[in-house]
Structure 1
C-alpha cells in the first residue's frame, strides 16, 4: 500500500511517500513562501523523483489540524482535490499525534505543542513505550499556565515538541526538571510521521472520502472570534 502524506499545518511544509510503513521519499522545507506556492510543486517533484504515478497511490494522508488556519485549509484542500479527481481514499491525521511518532525510538512522554497565540497552545500528551504510542488526552487548546500545572504532575522524561516548543519552554523555565526541548531535527511535524499514523489508521479502517475530509479546528478563527465578541457570542 502506497501512501502520499502531506503536512502544511504550520510554517514548515512537507510531503512524503511511503509503502507498507517504509519511507520511500520525503521533501521538507521551512521557508517564508506560502504553502499555496510550494505544496503542489513539492508533490509533483516527489512523485517524479520516485517514478510514481498518482494512480499508484492507495491513500492520501494529511495533518488536518490543529494548526495554522490558513495552512490547514491549504493542505486539506489540496488533498481533497487530488483524492477526488483520482478516487483515492483520505486519512485525516491529528497534527499533534503525528509529532509523537517522531520519537518512536525513545521511551518518554511527548508534549506536542503548537503556538495558538494569546498565551495558548494546541496540545496533546502521548506516552511512548517500546515503540508504541499511547494517547493520554484529547487534542485541546489551553493556556500555558494550565499546561505547566499539568506537566508538574507528570512523572518520567517529558520531551516538548512542535512550533510551540520555544514559548512553552520559556514559560515553564526551570520549574519542570524532567522536561526538555526536542532536538531540532525532531522538533517539527513531518509528513513521514503523518504516514506512520496513517498506516495504522488505514489498517483499522479509518479512512474517509475526499468529500468528507474536513479541517479540524480547536478554536474559531481570530476574525470570527472578534466578530462574535462584538456580537456577544462565542469567542473560543
Structure 2
C-alpha cells in the first residue's frame, strides 16, 4: 500500500493532494501570498481525512520550480521538515512539466499521455523581461525533456517557438502571451496543481527515481539575489 502526498507552491495557487489506497483528496487556494498561511493546515486536514499520520506517508512529490521565489521556499521548507524527520523520500517535479500533467487532467483526457500531442513547449512569465521556457516530448507515462528548463529573454520566445515547431504550447497567462506571434490555435493556459502530480510521483517512486530530501534542490533559473534586488531597488 502506498500513501502519497504532493505539494505545489510554485505559482499564485497553493495546492496539496493526498492519495492512499482508500482516499484521494486535495486542497487548493488561488490567493496571492497565502502559501505560508494555508499549506500546513491543508496538509494536516488531508492527513486527518485520510486517517494517517506524517510517518505513514511513503513519498512526497514536490514542484521544484521555476516559479515564485517565496512560494517555492515555503513548499521546500515544509517538505524538508516533513521528509527529513520521518525519512520520507521525495520526488522533485519541474513546475513546467507539472503544467503538462495538469493540462492532461483538466482536458478530461485519460490518465496517460497517449491522447495528447507529442511535442510540447511550456512558457511562463519570469518577470524582469524574461520567461521560463521548457520543451518536452510525451512518451508513454513520462514527459521527457528535450530542451532543459531555462530562462530566456522575452525577445527570443517567438523565434525559439518557431524553430522548435511544437504541436502544443502551454502558458500561465494567455492574455499576457497574446502579444506574441505564436500559434494560438494550439496554445492553452494552464496551472500546475498538486492533485495532477500524484500519478507521476507514484510512478517515479515505483521505478526508483525518488531521492533523499537532503539532495533536493529548487530550480529558480535565476539567482536568488536577483529577486532580492528587484524587490528592493
Q: TM-score, normalised by structure 2?
A: 0.82
Structure 1 counterpart of 2:145: 135
Q: CA contact under 8 A between 1:151 and 1:176: conserved in structure 2?
A: no
Structure 2 counterpart of 1:151: 161
Structure 2 counterpart of 1:64: 64
Structure 2 counterpart of 1:232: none
Alpha carbons of structure 1 residues 141 and 164: separation in structure 2 relative to 1, 3 Å: farther
SS in 2 for 1:67: coil
| Residues 1:166 and 2:175 are matched in the alignment | yes
TM-superposed CA distance for 1:114, in Å, is 2.4
Q: CA contact under 8 A between 2:10 and 2:95: conserved in structure 1?
A: yes
TM-superposed CA distance for 1:33, in Å, is 4.2
* 1:126 corresponds to which of 111, 115, 136: 136
C-alpha RMSD of the superposition: 2.7
Structure 2 segments unaligned to the other structure (5+ residues)? 105-112
Give the number of aligned pairs: 220
Q: CA contact under 8 A between 2:117 and 2:168: conserved in structure 1?
A: no
SS in 2 for 1:65: coil
Structure 2 counterpart of 1:179: 186
Residue pairs, 1:185-200, within 5 angstroms? 187-200=190-203
Structure 1 counterpart of 2:15: 14
Q: CA contact under 8 A between 2:130 and 2:153: conserved in structure 1?
A: yes
User: Would you identify which runs of 4 or more consecutive aligned residues in structure 1 move more than 6 Å?
Assistant: none
TM-superposed CA distance for 1:122, in Å, is 1.0
Structure 2 counterpart of 1:74: 74
Structure 1 segments unaligned to the other structure (5+ residues)? 228-236
Structure 2 counterpart of 1:50: 50
**For structure 1, which segment, 204-213 or 72-81, has the greater mean C-alpha deviation from structure 2 after superposition?**
204-213
Structure 2 counterpart of 1:214: 217
**For structure 1, which segment, 49-58 or 125-134, has the greater mean C-alpha deviation from structure 2 after superposition?**
125-134
**For structure 1, which segment, 35-44 or 107-116, has the greater mean C-alpha deviation from structure 2 after superposition?**
107-116
Q: TM-score, normalised by structure 1?
A: 0.81
TM-superposed CA distance for 1:47, in Å, is 1.4
